[in-house]
Amino acid sequence: MNEEMTKEEKKWFGTLLSYAKGSGGRLGASVLFSMISLLSGIVPYYCVYRILDRFIFGSLEKDFVLQWSLIAFIAYLVKVVCFGISTAISHYVAFHVLEGLRLKVADTFLKAPLGKVYEHSIGEIKGVIVDKIEDIEPPLAHVVPEGAGHILLPIVCFAALAFVDIRVALAALLALPLGLVFMMLTFKLSGENMTKYQEANAHMSSMIVEYVEGIEVIKAFGRAGVSYEKFAGAIRDYRDFVIEWLESTWVTMKLAFAFMPATLLGVVPVSILLVGKGSMTVSEMALSVMLAMSMVISMAKIEIFSNGLRQMQYTVLEIQKLLKIKSLPEPATEKLPERYSIELRDVHFSYDDTDDKDSEVLHGIDLTMEQGSFTALVGPSGGGKSTVAKLIARFWDVNSGSISIGGVDIRNLGVAALADIVSFVTQDNFLFSRSLMENIRLGNPKATDEEVISAAKAACCDEFIRKLPDGYGTSAGEAGKRLSGGERQRIAIARMMLKNAPIVILDEATAFTDPENETKLQESIANLTRGKTLLVIAHRLSTIKKADQIVVLNNGRIEARGTQEELMESSPLYQRMWQAHIGARNWAAGSAKEA
């Protein structure tokens, strides 16, 4: 495992650049321009040396000063222009890498089994896609190109100092070994805590998202104190950890910053000594001091950039863990069904993806739904109804057994092809932050406005949508605060109607619809799904009385199946459920009457 991680750490930067095609060459160009920029920056020092040297020996002419001043000015322009080009290229690369990473993470979650996605909190996913990937931009745009230049500059400056006098060059390195020792100690202490820092940051982000998303529930149940304390506790824990971490590295970090760039500690006294002995001129001493000061800036930058580079490495490796989530297998050769019957054969399934019988939620389901038929799944909560529906849509793969459409195992269908065949509407419907027109059009991106409106009318949406400020152009983000659960549900049903897929799965799709609209909606669904293979999960048994077959699921097993009349005669569980349903309606009517 350690050897595997070592290999991964060695190639992490190449992996990062692979998310933006052509990035390697562009980043190389950025590094080259950065080096030219920094090297151009020391040319004016040589120009000053030449002017100062001529002045000391008393033969300074105007033309000579103008000549070297012009050279210094041109070098400065080259420095500025090359730095601008380097920065522009590196930012171009950085933002393309960020784009590639975000799309890759999103695509990984889209193709992964739903259970694998649920293993990660919203805060964690948001933290990775938004915050952590964004944190890569500054190091990639600045640290890599500028850091390469700042590594080269001290080497060139040392060579120039050695050309002036090797003794001065060696004096510039006097404090370097001690600075390197303190820097390595800082890295060691930081490395030990970097993973803990990432975990603490992710936990805090998760708590923040949970608190904000649950604010309505918190206020409704008067749990603001407890929930706020949990939220505040996560922030305090993060604060305490970061402070403790900084305190553990503060001394070594400050000593590293003090000694690493302390080139003048050796250069100035040695230069003065050599000038006193006549081994060095005053102008050479001035040049040595200027070169040593250039080394100071670069070596200080290297310390700062090295921390940024390590942070980027940890971030990339953490993102890589998410990108390793296994996708649902895609078939090598796709086979499309010619019919749209559905067959479940000896289906076993557990959410933890194991063969442990104790964790199974479905135990050998055998079920056939003929093309164009209406099948209803009913049963007590937790019986496995929604699990069956989601397995047909292939949100997960079965542990054993098979699910086929028209005789084709759904594992031999591509994810996209299966999505085209199956429409799925749940009771918990999500509206995207775009217009209601576009939310409905998600069912068929090529649909015209007239077709969208027609679907909305069929789903009993048109009337309440037109009452909104901008009608169909109203943003769902704004409208979502005004829409009831039933209204959001009807928009999802309109989306399903517009998709016009041959297989339709409705998981309590009208649960929040008011009685007045439910009858109209049920009629519309019946008309629009005629000839389609329809699977409905319902608790209101009165809505599925006309189903071709009603399947009673209990504790992950099929307890009974048949028509309404057959089940009323043969299934005690269905009879109890029907009586409870009728009793609930009578109780509600009686309660209203008594009131």
- Residue 592 binned pLDDT confidence (cut-offs 50, 70, 90): very low
Q: Which domain holds residue 378?
A: 342-429+503-594
Residues 315 and 361 in one domain: no
pLDDT digits (tens, 9 = 90+) for 459-496: 888 888 898 888 888 887 655 566 777 788 788 888 88
Beta bridge pairs of residue 552: 378, 560
Answer yes or no: is 384 within a domain.
Answer: yes
Same domain for 68 and 142: yes
Q: Please give the full DSSP string across 155-206, using - where no structure is assigned.
A: HHHHHHHHHH-HHHHHHHTTTHHHHHHHHHHHHHHHHHHHHHHHHHHHHHHH
Same domain flag for 551 and 420: yes
Say what the pLDDT of residue 72 is: 92
Same domain, yes or no: 403 and 539: yes
SS3 30: helix
- 288 and 403, same structural domain? no
| 437 assigned to some structural domain | no
Last residue of a domain, one of 293, 323, 353: 323
Residue 461 lies in a domain: no
Q: Predicted confidence band at 368 (pLDDT cuts at 50, 70, 90)?
A: very high
Where residue 594 falls among pLDDT bands split at 50, 70, 90? very low
Distance of CA 416 to the CA centre of its chain: 21
pLDDT of residue 105 exceeding 80, the answer is yes
- pLDDT tens figures, 510-562: 555 555 656 666 666 777 777 889 998 877 787 788 889 999 998 889 999 99
User: Is 478 a domain residue?
Assistant: no
423 confidence band (pLDDT: 50, 70, 90): confident
Q: Which domain CATH number covers 512? A: 3.40.50.300
Assess whether 363 and 315 both reside in one domain: no
Residues of the chain above pLDDT 90, percent: 11
Residue 264 neighbours by CB distance under 10 Å = 19
Distance in angstroms (rounded) separating the CA atoms of residues 574 and 321? 47
C-beta of residue 76 within 8 angstroms of C-beta of residue 325: no
Q: What is the mean pLDDT of the chain?
A: 79
pTM, to two decimals: 0.65
Kindly state whether residues 123 and 90 are assigned to the same domain. Answer: yes
Q: Given pLDDT bands bounded at 50, 70 and 90, which one contains residue 269? A: confident
Residues 6+ apart with CB under 8 A from 459: 490, 491, 493, 494, 497, 521, 524
561, β-bridge pairs: 551
Task: Give residues with Cβ within 8 angstroms of 11, minimum separation 6.
Answer: none
DSSP 8-state secondary structure symbol assigned to residue 431: -
Q: What domain count does the chain have?
A: 2
User: Are 556 and 383 in contact, with CB atoms under 8 Å apart?
Assistant: yes
Same domain flag for 29 and 161: yes
Three-state SS at 347:
strand
pLDDT for 588 equals: 44
Q: Based on the fold, state whether residues 270 and 387 are members of the same structural domain.
A: no
Task: Judge whether 134 lies within some domain.
Answer: yes
pLDDT tens by residue, 219-247: 555 555 666 677 777 777 777 777 777 76
User: Which segments within 314-467 are labelled E, that is strand?
Assistant: 342-350, 360-369, 374-378, 400-405, 408-409, 422-425
Angstrom distance (rounded) from CA 381 to CA 556: 11
Q: 242, 262, 244: which is closest to 254 by C-alpha?
A: 262
Q: What is the CATH number of the domain that holds 35?
A: 1.20.1560.10
Cα distances (Å, whole numbers) of residue 204 to 208, 236, 244, 301, 547 = 6, 9, 17, 31, 49
Give pLDDT, residue 584. Answer: 53
**Residue 1: what pLDDT?**
38
* DSSP 8-state code for residue 460: T
Q: Are residues 115 and 159 in the same domain?
A: yes
Q: Is the residue at 37 inside a domain?
A: yes
Task: Specify the pairing of strand 503-507 against strand 533-537.
Answer: parallel
Q: Would you state the structure tokens that stand for residue 199, as one six-digit string?
A: 């975990």
Residues 350 and 309 in one domain: no
In a domain, 124, yes or no: yes
Q: Is 381 exposed, middle or buried (0-12, 13-18, 19+ CB in 10 A)?
A: exposed
Rounded to the nearest angstrom, the gap between the alpha carbon of residue 208 and the centroid of all alpha carbons in its chain is 17
- pLDDT digits 0-9 by tens, 63-100: 888 999 999 999 999 999 999 999 888 888 888 888 88
User: Please, what sign has the CA dihedral across residues 188, 191, 197, 199?
Assistant: negative
Q: Are residues 403 and 309 in the same domain?
A: no
